[in-house]
Amino acid sequence: MPTFLIAVAIFGKVITGLTVFGQSQINRLAIGVGMIPRGEVGLVFAGVGAASGVLSKSLGAAIIMMDILTTFLAPPLLRLVFPEPKPESREAGGAGKEK
């Protein structure tokens, strides 16, 4: 169950980000990956569902696992989407030159 929830959470957010329209130069993949972590919302729903008896203990645990894993997966995935800029090479003595 947790694997399915994690896959759906990640896949759904990335697909939703890829469908953003309106601006041609926008990084749609970054929007989708940036939406992946949603820990506090999931924890609130899991808490309310468990307190009201709507969620079983196994489903509540699966939601908590999904929240934790997606929260920790987002930063490395964002690093892949936003690669580090390469440092510009400066020529010797070129700092004071005007173009």
Is 35 contained in some domain?
A: yes
Domain span including residue 72: 2-79
Split at pLDDT 50, 70, 90, the class of 94 is low
Supply the pTM of this predicted model.
Answer: 0.67
Is 46 contained in some domain?
A: yes
Whether pLDDT at 93 is above 60: no
> How many C-beta atoms lie closer than 10 Å to residue 13's C-beta?
20
Residue with tokens 């020529």, as numbered in its chain: 91
Is 90 contained in some domain?
A: no
* 14 contacts 77 by C-beta, under 8 angstroms: no
* 78 contacts 34 by C-beta, under 8 angstroms: yes
pLDDT tens across 36-85, in order?
A: 887 778 888 888 988 999 988 888 888 888 888 888 888 898 888 887 77
Is 88 contained in some domain?
A: no
pLDDT tens across 16-37, in order?
A: 888 887 777 888 888 888 888 8
Is 96 contained in some domain?
A: no
Total domains in the chain come to: 1
